[in-house]
Amino acid sequence: MKPLRSLLSWVSLLALSRTVCLSASQSVCAGTENKLSSLSDLEQQYRTLRKYYENCEVVMGNLEITSIEHNRDLSFLRSIREVTGYVLVALNQFEYLPLENLRIIRGTKLYEDRSALAIFLNYKKDGSFGLRRLGLKNLTEILNGGVYVGQNRFLCYANTIQWEDIDRNPIASNFSVVPKNSSTDCGQCHKSCGNRCWGPSADECQSLTKVVCAEQCDGRCYGRSVSECCHRECAGGCSGPKDTDCFACMNFNDSGACVTQCPQTSVYNPATFQMETNRDGKYTYGAFCVKKCPHNFVVDISSCVRACPSPKMEVEENGIKTCKPCTDICPKACDGIGTGSLMYAQTVDSSNIDKFINCTKINGNLIFLVTGIHGETLIRLRDFISEMRIFTFYALSIITPTSPQGREKRHGWL
Ligand SMILES: *[C@@H]1O[C@H](CO)[C@@H](O)[C@H](O)[C@H]1NC(C)=O
Ligand SMILES: *[C@@H]1O[C@H](CO)[C@@H](O)[C@H](O)[C@H]1NC(C)=O
Ligand SMILES: *[C@@H]1O[C@H](CO)[C@@H](O)[C@H](O)[C@H]1NC(C)=O
Ligand SMILES: *[C@@H]1O[C@H](CO)[C@@H](O)[C@H](O)[C@H]1NC(C)=O
Ligand SMILES: *[C@@H]1O[C@H](CO)[C@@H](O)[C@H](O)[C@H]1NC(C)=O
């Protein structure tokens, strides 16, 4: 398989904001969705990866590590503790994957619609470079999706792992851990590991937090006894029975405690029969409860969102950017002829008329060539003009080829 080279998707992602500080102790970064595409310049490929994930603890999106050469320093990946989408590791030549602190993969998006963790084709065809060990020693939870580990010629130990312990719902998942296919011998797990490990040393044993639990536990546990069940809001295991002892949260992390729901932003006051603002309310932001939405996010009801859903618009209230229902129709600014996406268009015609649907403001001109508009387009045009409320475009031109010079310009304001 040859890596696809696509510069475009990378360029568009470079525009995303990088790392956002959630609180003093938590930094969040946006993931990527490039699949196997990579930059043709491998130096740039590595530097982009590093820029994205250096000091990042929570990846809100997918973590994609592809086309990285064998001698690169990947130690910056140690900061990552959570990935909300999928983890893809493919077409690389490095020996060791240092995602040592990765605790949970949520699988809110899946690779190829099935894998939350996909690790494949990590070796150089003609040579001895390739992935030999997965450093995923803290990975104890995959909330949704399957695991695919295959075609890694030199990979050892991955087939000793009990993936069913990691996956929340193994019956609904797809497991496919293909043993390596080469003559190189793999070492043994350390004798304290009971034949399940990520690597040869004593601190690389797989820690089981589900299959070993007492039947009474409805999730994970920190020991085999009935009294050693984790709190039901925990994901990935725990160090004790409380909701503050979890390694990761199933639903939301409210200042260190795992909760089903963030504290509501408004509460009912039975004395006044009214909903009132809750001073202790918080907004949901990914799997966190936050007092304030991060920069670039807008409050929609009680969550932080990237953009308001229609039919709502962004307004600023008491210094907080909030989504409010539009009173009449939602304002929508569109490019006119000669600007933005219609830079090279000459007139409004059937090829571009759809770009004007629901516009309330046109930044640029609207130019119609009368003969260019027939039947269907004419009907659409009439509809959209009658629906426009605010006309702030520069000039409306109607060009008719029947005038003496062949063309006549009529400029008008509505
Ligand atoms: C893994 O999780 C444990 C808690 O179980 C924590 O003490 C440790 O620092 C984490 N990271 C590594 C690299 O083991
Ligand atoms: C498992 O993978 C196969 C293809 O390999 C696919 O047809 C099937 O739908 C998958 N099942 C689930 C539950 O994702
Ligand atoms: C494994 O190796 C054998 C012989 O070297 C080869 O025929 C086969 O295609 C390989 N399988 C995979 C999955 O690479
Ligand atoms: C919850 O978030 C805090 C930072 O806000 C972090 O220090 C803590 O480890 C997180 N707890 C869990 C269980 O994820
Ligand atoms: C135009 O607005 C209507 C009503 O708000 C909405 O249903 C429709 O999806 C919008 N169309 C486009 C292309 O934005």
pLDDT in tens, 41-98: 999 999 999 999 999 999 999 999 999 999 999 999 999 999 999 999 999 999 999 9
pLDDT at 196: 94
Q: Which ligand is nearest to the CA of 380?
A: 5
Is residue 125 within 8 Å of residue 162, measured between CB atoms?
Answer: no
For residue 329, the ligand closest to its alpha carbon is: 5
Sheet holding 366-369, edge to edge: 366-369, 396-400, 408-412
Residue range 283-301, pLDDT digits in tens: 999 999 999 998 889 999 9
Q: Which ligand is nearest to the CA of 285?
A: 4
Instruction: Considering only residues 206 and 337, tell me which one the structure prediction assigns the higher pLDDT.
Output: 206
Residue list, ligand 4 pocket, CB within 6 Å: 23, 25-26, 246, 248-249, 253, 256, 258
Residue whose C-alpha is closest to residue 377's, from 346, 348, 337, 350: 350
In angstroms, rounded to a whole number, what is the distance separating the alpha carbons of residues 253 and 259? Answer: 6
Cis (ω within 30 of 0) for the bond into 311? Answer: yes
Lowest mean pLDDT among 101-115, 246-260, 267-281, 307-321: 307-321
For ligand 4, what atom is nearest to the CA of residue 103? 14
The CATH number of 266-277+295-325, from 2.10.220.10, 3.40.640.10, 2.20.28.10, 2.60.40.10, is 2.10.220.10
CA distance 97 to 102: 11
Contact 323, 299 (CB under 8 A): yes
Lookup result for tokens 């210094």? 319
199 Cα–ligand 1 center, Å: 15
Query: In this structure, which residue's CA is closest to atom 11 in ligand 4?
Result: 256
133: helix, coil or strand?
strand
Q: Which residue has the tokens 């296919």?
A: 181
Over residues 300-335, the pLDDT tens digits come to 999 999 889 888 999 998 889 999 998 877 888 888
* Beta strand pairing call for 288-290 and 283-285: antiparallel
Report residues whose beta carbon is within 6 angstroms of any ligand 2 atom.
114, 172, 174
Question: In terms of Cα–Cα distance, which of 90, 214, 220 is closest to 149?
Answer: 90
Nearest protein Cα to ligand 1, atom 2: 138
- Please state the pTM of the whole predicted model: 0.77
- CA 240 to ligand 4 centroid distance, Å: 15
Which atom number of ligand 1 is nearest to the Cα of residue 239? 5
Q: Where are the domains of the chain?
A: 28-174, 266-277+295-325, 333-399
Average pLDDT over the chain, rounded to whole? Answer: 84
User: 161 or 347, which is more confident?
Assistant: 161
User: What is residue 98's DSSP assignment?
Assistant: -
Any bridge partners for residue 324, and if so which? 313
For residue 338, give every residue at least 6 positions away whose Cβ sits within 8 Å of its Cβ, in sequence order, or none. 345, 364, 365
Averaged pLDDT, 15-34: 66
109 Cβ neighbours under 8 A, 6+ residues apart: 33, 61, 62, 84, 85, 86
Q: What is the pLDDT of residue 24?
A: 40
- When pLDDT is cut at 50, 70 and 90, the band that residue 4 belongs to is very low
Contact 163, 198 (CB under 8 A): no
**Mode of pairing for the β-strands spanning 333-335 and 303-305:** unpaired
Burial class (CB within 10 angstroms; exposed 0-12, middle 13-18, buried 19+) of 302: middle
Q: Binning pLDDT at 50, 70 and 90, where does residue 339 land?
A: confident
CA distance 253 to 240: 17
Pick the CATH number of 28-174 from 3.80.20.20, 3.30.1360.120, 3.10.180.10, 3.40.50.150: 3.80.20.20
Q: Whose CA is nearest to atom 10 of ligand 4?
A: 256
pLDDT of residue 408: 37
Mean pLDDT of all residues in 161-181: 79
Rounded to the nearest angstrom, the distance between the alpha carbon of 165 and the centre of ligand 2 is: 20
Ligand 1: centre distance to CA 134 (Å): 15
